[in-house]
A and B are shown apart, each in its own frame.
Chain A
Amino acid sequence: MDKRMNRRECLRALGLSGLVGGVGLLGSRSAQAQRVGESSGFQSSIIAGRKIEANRGNATLAGGKVIQPRRELPILHETDVLVVGAGPAGVTAAIAARRSGARVAMVERYGHFGGLWTGGLVLLILGHIVEGRKQVCQGIGEEIMRRLDKIDGAIVDRRPGVNPTADAEAVKYVMLEMIEEAGVEVFLHCWGVDTILDGSTVRGAVFESKSGRQAILAKAVVDATGDGDVFAAAGAEFAHCSHNVGLVSRIGNLDRIDKGRVQEGAKPRRLGSHTPVPGVNWVNLTGPEVDGLDIKTLTRMEMNHRKFIWKNMQRTRRLPGYEKVYLMETAPQIGVRITRVLNGVNRVQLSDLKAVTQFPDVVGVGGSTNGQHGPWQIPYGALVPAKVDGVLASGRCISMNLDMADLVRLIPNCFVTGHAAGVAAAVSVEQNCQPRDVDVTKVQKILKQQEAYLG
C-alpha cells in the first residue's frame, strides 16, 4: 500500500516537476526534496546540508593516545528479542522467536541473509544426517530446505542420506521471504559492535552502520555472530581458538570442457563440487590454521587466498580442454570457521557423542558430515553463558570442546542451535526471567510444536 502511494506521489512529482521545470518555478521542487527517503524525481537530490557542530564525540588524539569520549547513543529500536547476525543460526533464531510470540529485531553486517552459507558460498548442506541416514535437522532448517525444493534450480541432491547443495541466491531469497512473513524487524548493513550492559545482564546491542553508532534495546539477545562478538563484549568467558581460514569461490563453464582434448593424467585438482546451476561448481579452500579475529591475519588470508585462487584458475585454463573454464566469483565473506567458543553452563563434547549421552535439557540433536556418527544431543546449557545474563549463544560459537568444533559449525547444526536459542529467548521474555532460568520443558514443548527434532 505504502509503495503504491509512493509511486503515485513519485509520478505526480515527476509530472509536476516537468511542468514546473517548463514553467520555471523552481521553489516547489526543493520543498519536495526535503523529505528524507523519498524520491525527488531527479537522480539525486540534497537530503540535508551539513552543519559543523561543536563537541561531536569524536575520538581525539591526546598525548599520543587515541581517546574515545563518552557520548549518548541514539536508540534506534526497542524489542523483545534481538538477534545479532543473520546467518543460518540467526535467521532460524529470529523466525523461531517471532513464531513463539516475541517481537524480534535482527541486525546483520552484510546486505543479505544466510551468512557463510550464501555470502561465504559454502553451498553444501553438510551435517543434517546421522547413522542410518536419519535426518536430525528438522524444524525451521528443514522448512528452509523444503521451500528451496519448490523453487526450480534452488537445491539439488535432496535424497535421504545425501548432502544437498543449495544455490546461494535462492537461499537469500527464501530467507528474506520467511523473515518478512514472520514479521521480523531487520536492520541490514549493521555491524553489532558492543552490548548494552546493566550490571552483568545484556540489555541490547550497539551497532555501527552508515547511520553511525546506534543502539537497540532488547529483553534478550541471541548471539548469532559466529565469532561470539556479543557475549565477548558482554564479558562472558570464552576460549579464543584458531582454526582454518579459507575462501570459497565458484567456477563456471564446466559443461564446456572439451573432453576430447583432455589429456589422461593431466586432470586439474580443485574443480570443486556441483551446484544447482549447470556447469557451475563451488570450490572450497581450507586454508591455514590462524586466528580468525586478528585483522592483519584476516587481511593476509584474504589477499593470499585471492592470489592463489586466481593463479590456480589460470593453471587450470592452460590445460588442454579446460580453456573455457573461468572463475565466476570469490565469496564476499571470508571463510572463518572457529574463533571464540563460549564457556557455557554445559558443553557439547565428543565423549558425550561417543557415549550417546542423553541430556534432560536437550534442545536439539546434531548430525555429522556424512552421517558417520550417531545422533548427539545439544543441551540447553551449551547455549547459556556461564556468568553473563540476557544473552544466548547459537551457531558455531556455542559452548563446546574443540573436538566437536567441526560438527558444531556445520550449517544444519547452526539451524538447530539457532532454533533452540530463538525459542528460549522468546520464552525468557514471556516468563520475564533470565535465559538461564527459563522453563526448559516449555522450550522443548515449543520446539516440538515447531517440528524440531529432540531425539
Chain B
Amino acid sequence: MSEQETTIEDRNFRRYQWFVRTTALAIAIGLLWGGSVAVPALSPFIALAAWLATRTFRVLTVLGLVVTVIVLVHPRWFCRWLCPLGLCAEGASRLGRRWGRRPRKSTPLGQWILWLTLGGALFGWPLLLWLDPLVIFAGLFGLTTLRSVPAACLTTLPALAVLLLSLAWPHIWCGQLCPLGALQDLLSHPGRRWHKRAVSTSDSGLPLARRAILGAAVGAASASALRLTGTAATRPLRPPGAIAKPEFLTVCVRCGNCIRVCPTRIIEPDLGRHGLTSLMSPVLHFQNGYCREDCTRCTRVCPSGALTPLTRKFKRRVRIGLPQVDMNVCLLGEDRECSECRRWCPYDAIRYVFSETEYCLIPQIDPAKCNGCGACEMACPVKPKKAIVVVPLG
C-alpha cells in the first residue's frame, strides 16, 4: 500500500476506521475507568480457553461468542475495529518507524501461545491466557483501582512491554505475538490448507497442523506436570466461588475484574507472597473489610470462570476459610472487655465460652454457620497481628 496511490475513498475509509477505533479505545478506557468488567470478557480467546478449562458456560461468555461469530465472517475484525491495545501498539509502531525502526519477520509466537494455552486448557491449565490483549490492556487500569502501588505498577508492566516491543520492532505485537490475533486468523480461515507450509511468514516452517498438535501437546504435558506437582505450599484465601483446584492459578487471567468490583476492597493482587505462579492472582485481605453477606459481584464478573457465579443464598454455604483464634493475643485471654468479633459476625457463628480452667472466655466458632467471610478478623481490635484470623481450608 503506497501512500501516493490511495484514492479518496480509501482515505475516507481510513478516516472512518480511525474514528471507530479511537472511539472504541475511548469507550474501553471509560469502561475500565468506571470499573466496568465487560472489556476482558469480549475476547474469544478467553471465552474459548476458559470454557475448555472449566467446562462451564458463563453469562459473560456471550460477549466473547458474539465477537467470535463476527470474526468468522470478517477476518481479524476485532483487531481492525475494536482492539484498544492494538491501537496503542500501532501508535507505538508508527513512532518506531518514524525513528527508523523496521518491522522484523520472526516466528509467529502468537500461534504457539494459542496452541500451548488451548492444549493446557484441555487439562484445566490455560497456561498463557494472561497474554490476552484485553487482559493486558485492562492491566493499565491497575493504577486507578489498586491501592497498592507495587501491584498497580506490576499490572501495567505487560502493556508497557507491548508498547516498547512495538517501538523496537514495529507491528511485532499484532502481527506475530498476539494470541488473540492468531486465534482470529485461525477462525477466519477454517478451510485453509492445514498441511501446507506457511509461505508468507518465515516461521519454523512447520505445517499448521503439526504446529497445532505440537503446541497443544506441549501445553497438555505442562498442564499434566503442573497437576502432578500439586498445589503451592501456602494456599492463600481466594474470593468466594474460586475453583478449589490449583488450576485456579492459570484459569485466572489476572484481569482484575474481581478486584475492581469488590465493594469492600478486600480483594488484592498477590505480589508473590504465595509463589511466582500465584503472582497477581486475587487474594483476600480482611484487614479493613469483609466479604459482605449481600454481595456476589466478584463471582459474576470473572471472564474466565476462575470464580464460579454464586447466588446470595448459596454463597452463605460457600466457605472461604475458617477463623482461628490465638488466645495469646486475644483480649479475652487477658480478661479485657471485647466482643467485637461476635458483634460483627453476620452469621451469628461465634460464641464466647467460659473456660473454668483458664478462668476466661474463649471465642468458639461454629463451622456449620461460618463461611469465613472475615468480619471477625476485620473487627478484631488487636494490632498489629489480629487475634482472630481466617485461614484457608485444608
A residues engaging B (CB < 8 A)?
124, 126, 244, 246, 269-270, 273, 283-289, 308, 312, 350, 369-370, 372, 403, 406
Residues of B with C-beta under 8 A to A283: 335
Residues of A with C-beta under 8 A to B381: 369-370, 372
Taking the closest CB of chain B, its distance from the CB of A92, in whole angstroms, is: 21
Task: Check if B10 is an interface residue, CB within 8 A of chain A.
Answer: no
Task: Check if B339 is an interface residue, CB within 8 A of chain A.
Answer: yes
Given contacts A284-B336, A369-B338, A369-B381, 17 further A-B pairs with CB under 8 A are: A244-B352, A244-B354, A244-B361, A269-B333, A269-B334, A270-B334, A270-B335, A273-B336, A285-B335, A285-B359, A286-B332, A287-B354, A370-B381, A372-B340, A372-B379, A406-B337, A406-B343
Residues of A with C-beta under 8 A to B360: 286
Pairs across A and B, CB under 8 Å, 15 listed? A126-B337, A244-B352, A244-B354, A244-B361, A270-B334, A273-B336, A285-B335, A285-B359, A286-B335, A286-B354, A286-B360, A369-B381, A370-B381, A403-B343, A406-B343
Residues of A with C-beta under 8 A to B340: 369, 372
Residues of B with C-beta under 8 A to A244: 352, 354, 361
CA of A406 to CA of B332, assembled, Å? 14
Q: Known interface pairs A308-B359, A350-B343, A372-B379. Does A289 touch B352 (Cβ–Cβ under 8 Å)?
A: yes
Residues of B with C-beta under 8 A to A269: 333-334
Residues of B with C-beta under 8 A to A308: 359
B residues engaging A (CB < 8 A)?
332-340, 343, 352, 354, 359-361, 379, 381
CA of A350 to CA of B339, assembled, Å? 13
Taking the closest CB of chain B, its distance from the CB of A418, in whole angstroms, is: 20
Residues of A with C-beta under 8 A to B334: 269-270
Please name the residue on chain B nearest to A406 by beta carbon.
Answer: B339
Please name the residue on chain B nearest to A122 by beta carbon.
Answer: B337
Residues of B with C-beta under 8 A to A286: 332, 335, 337, 354, 360-361
CA of A405 to CA of B379, assembled, Å? 17
Q: Establish whether residues A289 and B354, one from each chain, have CB atoms under 8 Å apart when the complex forms.
A: yes
Taking the closest CB of chain B, its distance from the CB of A217, in whole angstroms, is: 39
Taking the closest CB of chain B, its distance from the CB of A396, in whole angstroms, is: 13
CA of A372 to CA of B337, assembled, Å? 14
Taking the closest CB of chain A, its distance from the CB of B337, in whole angstroms, is: 6
Taking the closest CB of chain B, its distance from the CB of A267, in whole angstroms, is: 11
Taking the closest CB of chain B, its distance from the CB of A311, in whole angstroms, is: 10
CA of A370 to CA of B331, assembled, Å? 13
Residues of A with C-beta under 8 A to B335: 246, 270, 283-286
Across the A-B interface, give the 5 residue pairs with the lowest CB-CB distance, nearest first.
A288-B354, A406-B339, A284-B335, A370-B381, A286-B361
CA of A363 to CA of B317, assembled, Å? 41
CA of A246 to CA of B360, assembled, Å? 10
Please name the residue on chain A nearest to B340 by beta carbon.
Answer: A372
Residues of B with C-beta under 8 A to A369: 337-338, 340, 381
Taking the closest CB of chain A, its distance from the CB of B345, in whole angstroms, is: 10
Taking the closest CB of chain B, its distance from the CB of A368, in whole angstroms, is: 9
Q: Establish whether residues A284 and B337, one from each chain, have CB atoms under 8 Å apart when the complex forms.
A: yes
Taking the closest CB of chain A, its distance from the CB of B123, in whole angstroms, is: 46
Taking the closest CB of chain A, its distance from the CB of B137, in whole angstroms, is: 38
Please name the residue on chain B nearest to A405 by beta carbon.
Answer: B339
CA of A369 to CA of B331, assembled, Å? 12
CA of A372 to CA of B248, assembled, Å? 36
CA of A188 to CA of B189, assembled, Å? 98
Residues of A with C-beta under 8 A to B337: 124, 126, 284, 286, 369, 406
Residues of B with C-beta under 8 A to A284: 335-337
CA of A288 to CA of B339, assembled, Å? 14
CA of A305 to CA of B334, assembled, Å? 15
Residues of B with C-beta under 8 A to A350: 343
Residues of B with C-beta under 8 A to A288: 354
Please name the residue on chain A nearest to B351 by beta carbon.
Answer: A289
Residues of A with C-beta under 8 A to B359: 285, 308, 312
Taking the closest CB of chain B, its distance from the CB of A80, in whole angstroms, is: 36
Taking the closest CB of chain B, its distance from the CB of A274, in whole angstroms, is: 13
CA of A284 to CA of B333, assembled, Å? 11
CA of A270 to CA of B359, assembled, Å? 11
Taking the closest CB of chain A, its distance from the CB of B341, in whole angstroms, is: 11
CA of A350 to CA of B381, assembled, Å? 18
CA of A308 to CA of B381, assembled, Å? 27
Most buried by A among B332, B336, B340, B359: B359
Residues of A with C-beta under 8 A to B339: 406
Residues of A with C-beta under 8 A to B361: 244, 286
Residues of B with C-beta under 8 A to A287: 354
CA of A288 to CA of B335, assembled, Å? 11
Residues of B with C-beta under 8 A to A124: 337
Residues of A with C-beta under 8 A to B338: 369
Please name the residue on chain B nearest to A353 by beta carbon.
Answer: B343
Residues of A with C-beta under 8 A to B354: 244, 286-289
Residues of A with C-beta under 8 A to B336: 273, 284
CA of A273 to CA of B331, assembled, Å? 12
CA of A286 to CA of B334, assembled, Å? 9
